[in-house]
Structure 1
Amino acid sequence: MLSVVLPAYNEEKMLAKAAGTISSVLEEAAIPYELVFVNDGSRDGTWAEIEKAAAGNPHIAGIHFSRNFGKEAAIFAGLANASGDCCAVMDCDLQHPPEALVEMYRLWEQGYEVIEGVKRSRGRESVMHRASAGLFYRMISKAVGIDMSRASDFKLMDRKAVDALLALPEKNAFFRALSSWIGYKTASVEFDVQEREAGESKWSTWSLVKYAVTNIVAFSSVPMQLVTVAGVLVFIFAMIMGVQTLAKFFMGHAVEGFTTVILLILIIGSVIMISLGIIGYYISKIYEEVKGRPRYLISKRISAERRTDEGEKRLD
């Protein structure tokens, strides 16, 4: 069976459409399936739409978070509660084409264990959003050491790959990079990003920046290495300034000190403050890991086979 995990945040306008379209595609291809919708603390009627869809389709399951925990938490909650022999992750807004699921499933039947959805085109975007997205992917590709320029969260994974991901102990997980990091036999399927039919994109320039910083820190230590590089560069600069100052002093042309001292203080002070900020951010993430709080809290659940509304807490 194929489990399709669909994180949903304020997607009441698209949820019924997504449930109906994906179900139709998979039923036409004769693929046994379940759809696992994860309501990530939506402020609209997303959960009511999930309940309505589940009432009309026994293949639909729902998870309701107690509050917004973020897309990564929603993905991992969906995978943890999926029962399929393989699991796919896709967006609830149908910008990931459901037809590609069939191609991914056929590749899984051939023995591939991780099938990556690779963007052939990004669809229609504003100039500012395209530029910020491009900067985001360049930053994150350099930091994690994986080409993320065309990567997406649209993937299909074998149960063993899903179990490997769920066994990773860190709470601040970057699904898009970790699904490549775990290895396994991999294939890719190209797709064109579809236009959103209703609702609004949740990704602004600022949210992309926050997403990049959070996931770079979660997956890579490169920013910490940049602190060392900055220290070396400042040391070299200080050595050059020191040699120049001593040379002019012994030649009898001492450099006037005020401007030079102020510049050095500003440069060194800036590097120190930025370095402390980077180190502090890593320490805050270590603090979050050490506290051992759950990645998410589930307040309601609808099972595809047996529906309950019991409040519960997951510790994974």
Structure 2
Amino acid sequence: MKLPILTIVVPCYNEEEVFEETYKQLKEILRDLIDEKYVSNTSKLLFVNDGSKDSTWEKITQAYLQDDSVHGIKLARNFGHQKALLAGLEDAVTYSDCVISIDADLQDDVQVIKEFVIKYLEGYDVVYGVRDSRETDTAFKRSTALGFYRLMDKLGLPLVNNHADYRLLSKRALEALLQFKETHLFLRGIVPLVGFKSTKVYYDRKERLAGESKYPLKKMLSFAFDGITSFSIKPIRLITVLGFSASFISLLAAIYVLYQKFATDTVSGWASVMISIWFIGGLLLMSIGLIGEYIGKIYEEVKQRPRYIVEESLFHESKVDQYMKQKVFE
């Protein structure tokens, strides 16, 4: 049986402090998989530099020069984690039988990569890496993350709870994923839409080895909101419900005011008027803002700008030649 060609895709942004250890650990895992005959000896590591401002690209280049299994892609600027990951996936699909994506910070347990490959060999097209617990998170991050998954479930979005972007995709699953052409990427929401046979591998998430998180609170909230508005129109429907509710409340208030006017001859209070104005005004502004968010997404989608631009690629041509020869004789 022909061994599958595996590519491990690693998006990197300002990872100079952790890159060498990341490369070392992933290289060891890849070597073990090759030695144990789980994957082909043409399997590789693909590092995607997402416009880093430090020496990350220089370190990727150094690894490439000393190791034939290392490939590198340098994006022209910082396009964001999801688009950097997509750049690696689109490159890897041309010469890989299966692809594993993992972040460079080593918080995801690299030791379960072997389990990913075993599940793939058992016939699974998608293998999700799922956190066994969130004990390493702060109480705030843990509660907000769980709240986000509950909200997404209420909105009918098929997310895998406690899964980020640590996963394995077979070639056909990856080809199906790349048919989704939206500009605003939320890959953990798109992958379940692909279908195919899937399973989960559980692991304990570690503390970041070095450097700082690339997802502060502001980015996390933006990412979550992007995921909600990219996959559901229920927030728009919620506005409609709020509008009808506000109208109903206003009708009750009108009945109350008329009763006060004709039955008790009292003048309506200033407080009730101001509360009504602020309530309706806030509801309108929120509604306009949410509708504007959807319109803005439509505006960016219809322009069809490239999702990323590659400035430089580091690629060992011998690997490609060897892969193409295998395909010819199959």
| Deviations 1:120-153 (CA, angstroms, capped at 9, x unpaired) | 0235233343344344444444445234431221
Q: Judging changes above 3 Å, is the alpha-carbon distance between structure 1 residues 208 and 142 closer, same or farther for their aligned structure 2 residues?
A: farther
Distance 1:279 1:124 in 2: 37
Q: Does 1:72 align with 2:82?
A: yes
Indicate conservation of the 8 Å contact 2:159/2:188, yes or no.
no
The code of the aligned residue for 1:117 comes to G
| Match of residue 89 from structure 1 | 101
- Partner residue of 2:262? 250
Residue 157 of structure 1 corresponds to 169
Describe the superposition over 1:145-188 as per-residue Cα deviations: whole angstroms up to 9, x where unpaired.
23443122111011111111111121112101111121111111
Counterparts of 1:185 and 1:128 in 2: how far apart (Å)? 34
Task: Please say if 1:11 is aligned against 2:15.
Answer: yes
- Residue 293 of structure 2 corresponds to 281
Q: How does 1:181-192 map to 2 (within 5 A)?
A: 181-192=193-204
SS of equivalent to 1:172: coil
Structure 2: distance between partners of 1:15 and 1:126: 25
SS at 2:71 equivalent: strand
Shift of 1:257: 4.8
Distance 2:77 2:237 in 1: 35
In structure 2, distance between residues paired with 1:259 and 1:98: 61
| Deviations, residues 182-238 of structure 1 (Å, cap 9, x unaligned) | 111111100110222211111222221111112221222222222112212211211
Q: How does 1:1-316 map to 2 (within 5 A)?
A: 1-30=5-34, 31-32=39-40, 33-82=43-92, 83-143=95-155, 145-305=157-317
Quick check: 2:159–2:189 contact (8 Å CA) kept in 1? no
- Aligned to 1:167, the other structure's residue is in SS state coil
Contact 2:183-2:307 at 8 Å conserved across structures: yes
State the identity as a percent: 35
Query: Does the CA contact (< 8 Å) of 2:15 and 2:105 recur in 1?
Result: yes
Matched to 2:242, the amino acid is A
Note the C-alpha offset of 1:252: 3.0
Per-residue deviation, 1:85: 0.6
2:64/2:70 contact within 8 Å kept: yes
Q: Distance in 1 between matches of 2:253 and 2:157?
A: 35
Distance 1:80 1:157 in 2: 12
**Tell me, which stretches of 5 or more residues in structure 2 are unaligned?**
320-330
Contact kept? 1:136, 1:208, Cα under 8 Å:
no
In 2: Cα distance, 1:224 partner to 1:46 partner: 42
8 A Cα contact 1:144 1:219, kept in partner: no
Distance 1:9 1:281, change over 3 A: same
1:255 shift after superposition: 4.6
> 3-state SS of the aligned residue for 1:115?
strand
Contact 2:128 2:198 in 1 (8 A): yes
Residues 141, 149 of structure 1: 8 Å contact kept: no
Moved more, 209-218 or 45-54: 209-218
2:251 is matched by which residue type in structure 1?
A: M
- Which letter maps to 1:36? L
Aligned residues: 307
Runs of 4+ in 1 over 4 A off after TM superposition: none
Residues of 2 paired with 1:285 and 1:278: CA distance? 11
TM-score (norm 1): 0.91
Q: Normalization by structure 2: what TM-score? A: 0.87
* CA shift in 2, pair 1:87/1:290, >3 Å: same
Separation (CA, whole Å) in 2 of partners of 1:306 and 1:12: 28
> What amino acid is aligned across from residue 104 of structure 1 in structure 2?
F
Give, as a single letter, the amino acid of the residue that structure 2 aligns with 1:302. Answer: L
Q: Which letter maps to 2:16?
A: E
Using a 3 Å threshold, how does the CA distance of structure 1 residues 163 and 204 change in structure 2: closer, same or farther?
Answer: same
Query: Could you list the per-position Cα deviations for residues 82-130 of structure 1 after superposition, in whole angstroms to 9, with x for gaps in the alignment?
Result: 0211111111111111221111111111111111111102352333433
Paired with 1:17 and 1:280, the residues of 2 have a C-alpha distance of 44
